[in-house]
Amino acid sequence: MPENLSSKASSDFSAPSSTVGSNNVETQGKRALRELELSVVIPTFSEVDNVEELIRRVDSALVGVVWEVIFVDDDSPDGTADLVHSIARTDLRIRCLRRIGRRGLSSACIEGMLGSSAPYVAVLDADLQHDERLLRKMLQMMRDDDLEVVIGSRYLKGGSFGELADSRVFISKLATKVGRLVLRADLSDPMSGFFMIRRDAIYQTVRQLSGVGFKILLDFFASSPKPLRFNELPYDFRQRFKGESKLDAAAAWDYLLMLLDKLLGHVLPVRFISFSIVGGFGIFVHFLALTIAFQIMNLDFTLSQAAATVIAMTSNFFLNNLLTYRDMKLHGFGMLRGWVSFCMACSVGALANVGIAAFLFDHGFIWYLSAMVGVIIGAVWNYAVTSLFTWKRTTTAKTGN
């Protein structure tokens, strides 16, 4: 390579762009003559108002570093992916991975990380609550101290939760205490969503990740086959720039499932755990409905039992649609179709439960052992069949088959 071209490429890269997407393709090509060092993965859902400001801030923070930003968008209805694509046409440092038919912050981060070729990968929220100015210092620590992870912490001296509501601070602290049950490291802020990780550490851990929920850092530390070398840096958590928070009760449910997955050591699929918990709640719903119909309304027992069964199945269907399969949620006519197939599958499962339990009891098994085997087989049947048929269309979209 001619020396003058190499030096010009270095000079071109070091100068920050004045506006998003303002650099032409020729300049971007010259920048590519230097080796990519850092990928910044940003999961998004309905963050169109934050994209341009976020790119400007990353650009300003990483002057002289060869970087790229990978937006992983869960098919935002507000046009987030379309905006990123339009920027990427004139700025080769920007990429967009658009996911259809699936949702989830952790799984989005994993896909973005696996799509990177850089030796270092940072995770940054799209709401600008994380301090992107810390990225350069994180990168320097990774280089100088041979670390595998550097974490932005709100708990260290010099860091804070900023103006975050007291209720949110309480929830974060509670989740941090619970999360320590599965941690293999003494992190001050395991709930942080702002960190940088070495690509080698990603590859050695990715097959053990649950990929559930929104706390991918905790997942990494709980899943790594060996202790990760890490350090933490304090930062002030900022107010969301624009848009609304995506945290809700379903996100808390996902966090609980991720912890259970780590505690059980991948013995059971995460979705089956969720399906079983919902099924347990369905038993409570069944007996509550039966009591009201038979004891209070004085209806015929058979009619009361049938009504309670339908009510419990319906409750289970909607809860599974909301929680267990929230990334494949059925809508409109698909929900009616799903409810019918769910009830049909669970009816067969109930028959299998009763039939197998009765058969075992008649052949000398203890009554409670017979009942337990019947319940397990019924639950496995219900899970397997409903995941195949009830949420079939969305599952197909997710796997790309």
203 and 70 share a domain?
Answer: yes
pTM beyond 0.75, yes or no: no
Check if the beta carbon of residue 99 is closer than 8 Å to that of residue 108: yes
Q: Residue 287: what pLDDT?
A: 84
Domain boundary among 219, 249, 264: 264
Residue 94 is classified by DSSP as E
- Written as tens digits, the pLDDT of the chain (401 aa) is 433 433 333 333 333 444 454 455 555 555 555 789 999 999 998 899 999 999 999 999 999 999 999 999 988 999 999 999 999 999 999 999 999 877 778 889 999 999 999 999 999 998 899 999 999 999 999 999 989 999 999 888 888 877 666 666 766 676 666 666 667 677 888 878 899 999 999 999 888 887 776 678 888 888 888 889 999 999 998 877 775 665 556 667 776 777 777 677 667 777 888 888 888 888 888 888 888 888 888 888 778 877 888 888 899 999 998 888 877 788 888 889 899 999 888 888 878 877 787 788 788 888 777 777 777 887 888 888 888 888 874 433 333 33
Angle at which helices 392-399 and 367-389 cross, to 10°: 60
Residue 392 structural domain: 270-399
Task: Give bridge partners of residue 44 from the DSSP assignment.
Answer: 73
Amino acid found at 387: S
Q: Residue 360: what pLDDT?
A: 80
115 and 218 share a domain?
Answer: yes
Report the CATH number that the domain containing residue 63 is assigned in CATH: 3.90.550.10
Q: Residue 237: what pLDDT?
A: 86
Residue 97 is classified by DSSP as E
Domain boundary among 264, 290, 313: 264
Report the SS3 class of residue 67: strand
Pairing of strands 94-98, 149-153: unpaired
Report the SS3 class of residue 43: strand
The domain total for the chain is 2
Q: Residue 330: what pLDDT?
A: 86
Domain boundary among 243, 264, 285: 264
Q: How many CA atoms lie within 13 A of 384 on its CB side?
A: 9
135 and 58 share a domain?
Answer: yes
Q: Residue 225: what pLDDT?
A: 85
Q: Residue 19: what pLDDT?
A: 47
In the structure encoding, which two tokens stand for residue 391, read together?
């949420």
| Distant-in-sequence, close-in-space partners of 309: CB < 8 Å, separation ≥ 6 | 286, 350
Question: What CA–CA distances, in Å, run from 391 to 32, 132, 272, 365?
Answer: 44, 39, 14, 36
192 and 295 share a domain?
Answer: no
Pairing of strands 230-234, 120-123: unpaired
